[in-house]
Amino acid sequence: MLNWSITFLVIAIIAAVLGFSGIAGTAAGLAKILFAVFLVLFIISAISRAVRGKKI
């Protein structure tokens, strides 16, 4: 049981360092940009497959 508590302590410390340093906000912004890019690529892919007559 002590091993689990030490593991969670280390995870909490790492999360606190990343959360308080501003890395989390940067990662969230990057995730939004990547989501938009992949959504556009998916829509383009779906339209091109529909034009060619293949099913998704």
Tens of pLDDT, residue by residue over 25-41, are: 777 888 899 999 999 99
Q: What is the pTM of this model?
A: 0.56
Q: How far lies 33's CA from each of 22, 39, 40, in Å?
A: 17, 10, 11
pLDDT at 56: 58
What is residue 43's predicted lDDT score, i.e. its pLDDT?
Answer: 92
Is pLDDT larger for residue 54 or for residue 5?
Answer: 5
Average pLDDT rounded to a whole number, residues 48-56: 78
pLDDT at 54: 62
More confident residue, 13 or 38: 38
